[in-house]
Amino acid sequence: MQLSEGQISALRDLRSKKAGEEVDWINIADARALTELGLAERNREGWIITAAGEVALGLLCRAPDRPKT
């Protein structure tokens, strides 16, 4: 799965949001793309990361060509 830097950033922000941290605005285009991939969803409170999104982010952070966060 190839994600853009913006999508990865949005996924990280959604993970932080789920943890109760303050996050900046999520780019809607990135969030919609993540939703189409099943990595995020939209509910009454806004965009949230899915279980699949958390797994994908964990895999991306471990990839040798990506910096760990």
Is the whole model's pTM more than 0.85, yes or no?
no
Q: What count of Cα atoms within 13 Å lies in the side-chain half-sphere of residue 16?
A: 13
Q: pLDDT tens-digit profile of 15-65?
A: 999 999 999 899 999 999 999 999 999 999 899 999 999 999 988 877 655
d(CA 23, CA 46): 12
Q: Give the chain's end-to-end CA distance (angstroms, integer).
A: 19
Is residue 68 within 8 Å of residue 60, measured between CB atoms? no
